[in-house]
Amino acid sequence: MTVPRFRRQSADVYDSGDRSQAERAWEDLFDGGRHWRLWSKLGWHDIRKRYRRSVLGPFWLTLSMAVMVASLGLIYGTLFRLDLESYLPFLAIGLATWTFVASFLNEGCTSFIDLEPLIKNVRIPMSLHILRALWRNLIIYAHNIVIFAGVALVFGIWPGIGGILLAFAGLGLLLVNAGWIMLLCGMVCTRFRDVPPIVASVIQLLFFVTPVMWKPELLGERRYLMALNPLYHLIETIRAPLLGQLPGWENWAVGLLFAAAGWALTFVLFARFRKRIAYWL
């Protein structure tokens, strides 16, 4: 695999005074996105390396999740007296999307730490490491979506072309938010090594307070509490269209505001601390 040449040569130092750090941060983000062939190949290589000599490869995760969806669907459907015809598709797409969210949250914390030798020896944009990890998890997410497709086929659910396109738009919004979350977590966790275990604990808590295994309707009059959970809104922009429903305007509004505020904060911190990441490692 040929490594492309970047606009700025390795002779340039991070703290040179020819340009502002904000300009250098923007160039890093631009170069990372521009070299999509590199990070897509690296992400695919990570998948192949992880499941080398495996018969099913990443479909082992899909098989495991299929068993989990079937088991939890029967258990929680019976406990909450839910109609399995509507609950199983809800659980399948919700659990697959949550697994994707939890994966990029966890891997965002170690995206720089795990690549310490590469970062210290090869001059490539920091954002490229984030895109590599995000692409890797997106591939696994695509495998897990197969479960929902199977459940939808069994129960005769067809969201229509409009619903599918709307779900892709929701996925795009989720990816935009995933980018800044992974970049921010990567910087913070590289500097403070006690943060990754804290993030892992918070993810477990968020799983139970986010409507993944249970429906928001079960909250009754307290459903307004969901407005405080941005992950619910991001998941709903994908889940609702695939279930033949329309996401509320508040789901899109919260997702867009979350992305705008998150990227603004992350860019400021990235411009200030980007050149220190290699030293923190």
Render pLDDT for 165-210 as a digit per residue (tens, 0 to 9). 999 999 999 999 999 999 999 999 999 999 999 999 999 999 988 8
DSSP state of 13: -
- 213 lies in a domain? yes
- 45 lies in a domain? no
Ramachandran sector of residue 54 (left: φ over 0; alpha: ψ -120 to 50; beta: rest): beta
Render pLDDT for 101-125 as a digit per residue (tens, 0 to 9). 999 999 989 989 988 888 888 888 8
- 275 lies in a domain? yes
Domain count for the chain, please give it. Answer: 1
Which pLDDT value is given to residue 56? Answer: 66
- 16 lies in a domain? no
- 258 lies in a domain? yes
- 186 lies in a domain? yes
CA angle 114, 208, 249 (to 5 degrees): 95
The H or E element that residue 217 is part of is none
CB 179, CB 134: distance < 8 Å? yes
Range of the domain at 275: 58-280
Mean pLDDT of 11-27: 67
Q: Give the tokens for residue 234.
A: 């991001």
CB 214, CB 76: distance < 8 Å? yes
Which pLDDT value is given to residue 169? Answer: 95
Q: Is 8 exposed, middle or buried (0-12, 13-18, 19+ CB in 10 A)?
A: middle
Query: Residue 11 pLDDT > 80, yes or no?
Result: no
- 94 lies in a domain? yes
Task: Give the Cα separation of 156 and 173 in Å (integer).
Answer: 27
